Amino acid sequence: MWKQFGKYYGLAILLPTCTLVGYIIGFLLDKGFGTRFFKLVFLLLGIAAGFIELIRELNKDQDDGGS
């Protein structure tokens, strides 16, 4: 039971973490280059990466029989 809890808790943290990391990278690049668009680009890339990894993990779970 705790193993499943840990796995799904990790999935719940995955998407916000990827989004935050993408935003921070974009923010730092904007600050370094004096631009304003890297935040948006890397925010969207972080969201996409989070969804892709979430789908991969859920498909892996489904292929393993759900448990």
Q: In this predicted model, what pLDDT tens digit does every residue of 22-66 receive, in sequence order?
A: 999 999 999 999 999 999 999 999 999 999 999 998 898 788 765
Considering the entire predicted model, what is its pTM? 0.83
CB half-sphere exposure, 59, CA atoms < 13 A: 6
Structure tokens at 55: 């789908």
Q: Provide the residue range defining the domain that includes 21.
A: 9-63
Q: Is residue 3 part of a domain?
A: no
CB half-sphere exposure, 44, CA atoms < 13 A: 4
* Residue 42 contacts residue 29 (beta carbons within 8 Å): yes
Q: Is residue 1 part of a domain?
A: no
Total domains in the chain come to: 1
Q: Is residue 51 part of a domain?
A: yes
pLDDT at residue 6 is higher than 90: no
Q: Is residue 24 part of a domain?
A: yes
Helix axes 2-33, 38-63, angle to 10 degrees: 160
65 backbone dihedrals φ, ψ, rounded to 5°: 100, 10
Structure tokens at 41: 């680009």
Q: Is residue 28 part of a domain?
A: yes
Q: Is residue 4 part of a domain?
A: no
